[in-house]
Amino acid sequence: MTKRVGILYFSPTSSTRSICSAISSGMGVEEPQFFNMTIPELRTDLIANAGADLNMMDHLIIGSPVYSGKLPSQVIDCIKAIGGKRTKCSAVVVYGNRDYGIALHNMVDLLSQNGFEVVGAGAFIGQHSYSDLVPVAMGRPDKSDIELAQAFGKKCAGTLNRLDLNKIPVQMDRFAKSEKYSAIKPSYLEKRCLQCGKCTKACPLGLILFETGIVMTQKSEKQCIGCMACVQHCKPKARTLKTNPFVKVIMKGILKEALQNRKEPLMIFG
Ligand SMILES: Cc1cc2nc3c(=O)[nH]c(=O)nc-3n(C[C@H](O)[C@H](O)[C@H](O)COP(=O)(O)O)c2cc1C
């Protein structure tokens, strides 16, 4: 019988989802069951049924992007609320070639404390969400990343031993230390908006009004996590990543190293 493999993921701009799919294909499973934590209604459904379907899986691949060296708070809350039933899993974080901070360590710790048995952990690379500003990790995950993700999947499928948290490295910089998420908010040009509603559907916080395409309130504007899902889904470019020259210079400084040196995936097994 084919192993039942599930993918529980948060992925506003799809690179985490691509990596997790490649991991599943490396496990020999081309049609995994997807459990999407990205969209608010789907997160609510997952929490409401306490992950019942998800805990039926033989193996879960759990994927999240890295935001400011950490896991997005939506992922933390969702995993805590779902909980595992000694469900075997692989912990996956995807970052934009700068660094993965404490995210992978946090993910393994969080899963272990909430009923999951982690047998493998990996930090992979995806095109940086702010690559419209500084072109970091363009086109990633690429062929080599996908092949490595498949190899990771193959090895995870054959591993039974629980992973030791002490094996997971941390990169403790000022972003990982801070509790804040340094996000850049997208800008909106109303005259270009076709009111197609794609950004509304893509927003992981449900902050955009369907009828007009505008962000609901000033409070919602503050809640925006700057994930760029709306920018990626906006064909007429009503939503773009534009900043003032000062922020651009700062971002170039932060991402300078990431722009020059290609990082490779990290994979650890139990
Ligand atoms: C608010 C925010 C913070 C981010 N922080 C980091 C970071 O600390 N290190 C890094 O390498 N990439 C960082 N990124 C880039 C994402 O981790 C990367 O683009 C990832 O591939 C996005 O995953 P997704 O395509 O599944 O949404 C950040 C992106 C956003 C939106």
Nearest-CA residue for atom 31 of ligand 1: 227
Query: Would you say 234 and 198 are in contact if contact means Cβ atoms under 8 Å apart?
Result: yes
pTM reported for the whole predicted model: 0.97
Cα 18 to Cα 44, 128, 158, 160, 180: the distances in Å are 23, 14, 21, 25, 27
Helices vs. strands in the chain: H and E counts, helices first:
11, 8
pLDDT of residue 24: 97
Q: Which fold has domain 5-174+260-269?
A: Rossmann fold (3.40.50)
Show pLDDT as tens, one digit a residue, over the chain (270 residues). 458 999 999 999 999 999 999 999 999 999 999 999 999 999 999 999 877 889 899 999 999 999 999 999 999 999 999 999 999 999 999 999 999 999 999 999 999 999 999 999 999 999 999 999 999 999 999 999 999 999 999 999 999 899 999 999 999 999 999 999 989 999 999 999 999 999 999 999 999 988 777 877 777 888 999 999 999 999 999 999 989 999 999 999 999 999 999 999 999 999
CA of 44 to the centre of ligand 1 (A): 23
Pocket test for ligand 1, best of 106, 129, 174 (most atoms within 8 A of CB): 129
- Residue ranges, comma separated, of all CATH 3.30.70.20 domains in the chain are 187-242
Ligand 1 contacts CB of residue 126 (under 6 A): yes
Q: Cite the residue boundaries of each domain of the chain with CATH code 3.40.50.360.
A: 5-174+260-269
Residue 38 CA: distances (Å) to CA of 12, 99, 229, 253: 6, 22, 10, 30
Query: Which fold would CATH assign to domain 187-242?
Result: Alpha-Beta Plaits (3.30.70)
Name which of 104, 108, 123, 48 is nearest 78 in CA terms. 48
